[in-house]
Structure 1
Amino acid sequence: MALVIISILTAVHPGALPYLGAAYESLDSQALPDGWTWEWCLQEDGSDVGAREALPKPDDPRISIGSSRKGGPAVARTMAFAGSVGEVVKVLDADDELTAGALARDIGALTAHPQIGWTTSRVLDLMPDGSLLGFEGDPPAGLMARGAVLAHWREHHRAQVHPATLCMRRELVTLLGGWMALPASEDTGLLTALSVLSEGYFTPEPGLRYRKHAGQSTAHPAHGSGAEWAARMSIIEARADALAALLDRS
């Protein structure tokens, strides 16, 4: 019997190379349910990034490495998605680490609840000194109603759940065309659109160690304020609203 594949998509830029080995180790140590396996689709954002040289086991047959013209994480993730084959798609940033059991919990939620299209989980910030910090404000564990993430976003302009933990059914990612063509918040744009199309699920156990470091895109001065931020927020909300209106008319 053929194994069911979960595709792990990772955009790689030079600043994340020091952490890529830890990302691999966190993936390699995952215990998956019977009948499942994973593939890791790495996409270099630009040429000669050096992902293969940064991996502890570059010849692992479950790993594929592609490269494309530099376009930022949205382009790289979408290109990685284009080269993937899994029925389920999971995000893993090159500088982050999965927690033990993260993939099994995602697969378990999608299997137990066939009506949902996506899952997310609690996140722990991985600080430069190695400490782990949580934060308040997670939703209740379990099913998340269609549109709940958008409603929270509209009020707070902050995602209710962390988009870096997204695990999704392939057909929904295809329908939405991958990640939004934005310099940042592209994953939040995908999350809000997914929440309009389908119910989701929130797992209260931490699924990701989200590394904090000076080189990450969220450290950029334009990430949380200014004209670029306002434009990103506007188009994310406008697309989600347009999808909701289309569904209401159907």
Structure 2
Amino acid sequence: MTISDHAEVAVITPTRMRSDRIPYLLELHASLHQQDADWQWVLALDGVPTSQLPRRLRDDPRVQAVPLPRAVGAGAARNFALNEVTAPWCTTADDDDVLPEGSLSSRLRHAREHGLGWCAGWSADLHTDGALSTWHCPTPPGFHEAGDVWGYWPNPDATIPIGPTTLLARTDLIRGSGGYAALPQGEDYAYLVGITGTASGALLPTVVYHYRKHPEQMTAQSSYPAMESRARQFAWRHGKQLAALRAGIADVGSASRCAMSAEDAQ
């Protein structure tokens, strides 16, 4: 039995091991060591060999590298990493971001205490000078039934309802909802909608994720806007369809109960 077999939470990180990201990746690793929950870190090496991993990561028994023979993109890489998760709960972190102390345990404890399928929190932008600025997402703190979160996303161009990387969910729920969408970007929007549209959860009014702002991040590239609207439309329509399916199932259930009541009355 390995250390990862005892993990409560898995953290999935896709990476192409770019030289400018290595210091950030090591900082993320250090932030995991500050967590007070038992974790496993599944690194999806997107088209790069395990030999490129820094020795510090290769020597950590809680780090599991999943080398992919060719680059497949962040969404597919996360899905391949999900195959290797043994922990009952799972979250994600990008290779240039950081988890603040208590990030894992605060969400895990709240979800377990209230029998929830997921728990999220606020994120804070981490600026180059070290300053933090909290992003308050449109979804209000508190408990939310399945589908409630999508309701705070009025249209595809509006601000997304919750930061996807703040979402911690049951591993079986992630697998059951299909994981990450087959998109070149914005795959985590659909992931967010799928998880929160399938089970009840909660948003904590505390920062659980530090989102690093820097010139090399994907969202800062000139090519990023080209497919952003299409990715948003896909995810938003996913939420709309889930809402319709929930309503349909509710109607079927109501019709069945009415039919049974009629039969009982005869």
Structure 2: which amino acid aligns with 1:6? V
Native 8 Å contact 1:9 1:80 kept in 2: yes
Structure 2: which amino acid aligns with 1:233? R
Native 8 Å contact 1:12 1:49 kept in 2: no
Native 8 Å contact 2:89 2:169 kept in 1: yes
Cα 1:220–1:57 change in 2 (3 A) is closer
Mapped to 1, the partners of 2:224 and 2:201 lie a distance apart of: 26
2:17 is aligned to 14
Deviation at 1:10, TM superposition (A): 0.6
What does the per-residue CA deviation read over 1:173-222, in whole Å, with 9 as the maximum and x for residues that have no partner?
11122111112111111101222111221111211111111222111334
Mapped to 2, the partners of 1:241 and 1:140 lie a distance apart of: 20
Deviation at 1:48, TM superposition (A): 3.3
Mapped to 1, the partners of 2:169 and 2:240 lie a distance apart of: 20
Native 8 Å contact 2:134 2:207 kept in 1: no
Alignment of 1:61-210 (within 5 A): 61-68=61-68, 69-114=70-115, 116-137=116-137, 139-155=139-155, 157-210=158-211
Q: What secondary structure is seen at the aligned counterpart in 1 of 2:135?
A: coil
Q: More displaced, 139-148 or 168-177?
A: 139-148
Mapped to 1, the partners of 2:203 and 2:75 lie a distance apart of: 23
Mapped to 2, the partners of 1:119 and 1:73 lie a distance apart of: 22
* TM-score normalised by L of structure 2: 0.83
Structure 1: which amino acid aligns with 2:98? E
Native 8 Å contact 2:16 2:48 kept in 1: no
Count of residues in correspondence between the two structures = 241
Deviation at 1:77, TM superposition (A): 0.8
Mapped to 1, the partners of 2:118 and 2:71 lie a distance apart of: 28
Native 8 Å contact 2:90 2:169 kept in 1: yes
* TM-score normalised by L of structure 1: 0.88
Deviation at 1:134, TM superposition (A): 1.8
How well do the aligned residues superpose, as a CA RMSD in angstroms? 2.0
Native 8 Å contact 1:12 1:51 kept in 2: no
1:240 is aligned to 239
Structure 1, unaligned runs of 5 or more = none
Mapped to 1, the partners of 2:80 and 2:137 lie a distance apart of: 33
Native 8 Å contact 2:146 2:198 kept in 1: yes
Deviation at 1:62, TM superposition (A): 0.9
Flag the structure with larger Rg. Answer: 2
Mapped to 1, the partners of 2:52 and 2:106 lie a distance apart of: 28
Cα 1:238–1:136 change in 2 (3 A) is closer
Native 8 Å contact 1:122 1:138 kept in 2: no
Structure 2, unaligned runs of 5 or more = 250-266
Q: Which of 31, 35, 38 matches 2:36?
A: 31
Cα 1:163–1:174 change in 2 (3 A) is same
Q: What percentage of residue pairs aligned between the two structures are identical?
A: 27
1:59 is aligned to 59
Native 8 Å contact 1:44 1:51 kept in 2: no
Native 8 Å contact 2:46 2:72 kept in 1: yes
Mapped to 2, the partners of 1:4 and 1:148 lie a distance apart of: 30
Q: What secondary structure is seen at the aligned counterpart in 2 of 1:10?
A: strand
Higher fraction of strand: 1
Structure 1: which amino acid aligns with 2:34? S
Alignment of 1:210-229 (within 5 A): 210-224=211-225, 226=226, 228-229=227-228
